[in-house]
């Protein structure tokens, strides 16, 4: 698997997008968390100085958009230091947070450090989701954070992850977003990696649910007009063409895991046979341009049929490698979301199973909440 593959590819451009997953620690336990299942066993987090070095090296390479996420990035008490350094280097800084821990003194310090943008993710567990929708404590927390975000003159950008257990509440979610004064709302359907993959059977919505949610969104859009922009991201299991995942692995996106492992996509760590180097051992330049792991899925040399001879391959890059691996066991296969894939039935069958189980008993199987023991906590 290793070695110099994909050398038909011309030299890639710079990693314009840099994502730092500062920590896997998080006070929440989302059922759809995209962190790896075994995140409890990932090595020691990078120290402040190591993150600053990553920022410097990335900026020299040409990175300019910076995402700071996790886990919950506010768990790191050096977040302000990291933002300040990034700002000084010329990054456009985006904080992706659940809002837990975003107090006024910290927001003020982040603003002063030069933070450009905040995305408040409504990433919450099902239990809390119900709390939330019945307007209890977590609603108060989010509202308080939303008010702070406005006070410090950031646009209020809300990201809500949808799945079977909350998709029927889209209208309430949008009403709540309106009450919070949201400028943008992204209703993003769960992507099935990490914890969400483990919980897929319980999280995949039915077609009827999806349609209802889209209708509700359209009605809401009509009522509020342009004052609140709403994006609805359809789960790709319901499509017949894959998404151009990461605009192609190793083309623009570079992610650094809490322990310093460099990845072409946050979930790529699960791909077998690839040794992703750590920023503790190698320079970012050599990792991006020369490491076999980053070169493995560049270009088209790795592709199998039907992608290899498909006219779409330059546009969608054959879809998502992680999804191909999870569904077929071979990361070089065509993404089974594609209707041309010989494995497409794996996707349609999963959707059909979801239809049946949603109709029978919504929570027939136990669900694993993200935790440090690999998911032993059950609802």
Partner 1 sequence: MGIVDTAARPAIGGGLRLQWEPAQEAHVLLYPEGMVKLNQSAAAILTRCDGMRTVADIVADLERAYSTAGLSPDVCAFIALAVERTWLELRP
Range in contact with ligand SF4 (rule: CB under 6 A) among 23-31, 80-88, 210-218, 264-272: 23-31
Using DSSP's 3-state secondary structure scheme, residue 51 falls into helix
8-state DSSP, 272: T
For residue 138, the minimal CB distance to ligand SF4 (Å) is 12
Establish if 258 lies at the interface with ligand SF4 (CB under 6 A): no
For residue 218, the minimal CB distance to ligand SF4 (Å) is 27
Establish if 333 lies at the interface with ligand SF4 (CB under 6 A): no
8-state DSSP, 325: H
Q: Which of 42, 61, 74, 261 binds partner 1 (CB under 8 A)?
A: 61
Of residues 24 through 63, those in contact with ligand SF4 by CB under 6 A are: 26, 28-30, 33, 35
Establish if 199 lies at the interface with ligand SF4 (CB under 6 A): no
Whole-number Cα distances in Å, 319 to 88, 185, 190, 334, 340:
36, 26, 17, 7, 12
Longest Cα–Cα distance in the chain: 56
| Secondary element (H or E) of residue 188 | strand 184-189
Q: For residue 378, which phi and psi values (nearest 5 degrees)? A: -120, 150
Where would I find the beta strands (DSSP E) of 8-105? 17-21, 65-69, 92-97
Of residues 91 through 130, those in contact with ligand SF4 by CB under 6 A are: 98, 123
For residue 153, the minimal CB distance to partner 1 (Å) is 8
Establish if 71 lies at the interface with ligand SF4 (CB under 6 A): yes
Q: Which of 23, 94, 126, 267 binds partner 1 (CB under 8 A)?
A: 94
Residue environment code for 264-302, b if the CB has 16+ CB neighbours within 10 A, otherwise e: bbbbbbbbeebebbbbeeeebeebbbebbbbbbbbbbeb
Establish if 316 lies at the interface with ligand SF4 (CB under 6 A): yes
Alpha-carbon gap, residue 278 to 152, rounded angstroms = 36
**Residues in contact with partner 1, shown as a per-residue x/- string from 154 to 193 under the rule CB under 8 A:** xx-x------------------------------------
Establish if 190 lies at the interface with ligand SF4 (CB under 6 A): no
Contact 276, 262 (CB under 8 A): yes
Catalog residues that contact ligand SF4 under the rule CB under 6 A. 26, 28-30, 33, 35, 70-72, 98, 123, 241-242, 306-307, 310, 312-313, 316, 318-319, 334-335, 338, 340, 370
């Amino acid at each position: 698997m290793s070695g110099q593959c994909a050398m038909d590819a011309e030299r890639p451009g710079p990693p314009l997008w840099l994502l730092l997953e500062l920590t896997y620690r998080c006070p929440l336990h989302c059922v759809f968390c995209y962190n790896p299942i075994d995140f409890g066993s990932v090595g020691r987090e990078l120290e402040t100085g190591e993150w600053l070095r990553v920022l410097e090296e990335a900026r020299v390479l040409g990175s300019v958009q910076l995402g700071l996420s996790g886990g919950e990035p506010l768990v790191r008490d050096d977040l302000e230091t990291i933002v300040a350094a990034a700002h000084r280097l010329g990054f456009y800084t985006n904080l992706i947070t659940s809002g837990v821990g975003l107090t006024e003194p910290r927001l003020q310090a982040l603003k002063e450090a030069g933070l450009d943008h905040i995305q408040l993710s409504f990433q919450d567990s099902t239990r809390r989701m119900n709390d939330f929708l019945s307007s209890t404590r977590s609603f108060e927390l989010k509202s308080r954070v939303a008010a702070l975000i406005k006070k410090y003159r950031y646009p209020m950008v809300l990201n809500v992850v949808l799945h079977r257990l909350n998709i029927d509440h889209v209208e309430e979610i949008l009403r709540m977003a309106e009450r919070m004064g949201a400028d943008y709302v992204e209703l993003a359907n769960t992507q099935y990696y990490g914890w969400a993959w483990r919980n897929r059977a319980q999280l995949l919505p039915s077609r009827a649910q999806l349609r209802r949610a889209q209708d509700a969104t359209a009605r809401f859009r009509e009522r509020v007009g342009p004052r609140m922009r709403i994006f609805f991201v359809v789960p790709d299991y319901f499509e017949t063409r894959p998404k151009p995942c990461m605009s192609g692995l190793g083309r623009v996106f570079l992610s650094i895991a809490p322990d310093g492992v460099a990845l072409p996509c946050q979930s790529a760590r699960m791909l077998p046979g690839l040794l992703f180097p750590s920023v503790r051992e190698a320079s970012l330049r050599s990792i991006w341009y020369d490491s076999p792991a980053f070169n493995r899925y560049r270009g088209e040399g790795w592709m199998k049929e039907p992608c290899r001879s498909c006219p779409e391959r330059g546009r969608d890059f054959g879809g998502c490698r992680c999804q191909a691996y999870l569904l077929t066991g071979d990361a070089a296969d065509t993404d089974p979301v594609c209707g041309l894939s010989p494995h497409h039935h794996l996707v349609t069958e999963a959707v059909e199973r979801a239809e049946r189980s949603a109709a029978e008993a919504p929570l027939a199987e136990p669900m694993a909440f993200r935790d440090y023991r690999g998911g032993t906590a059950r609802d």
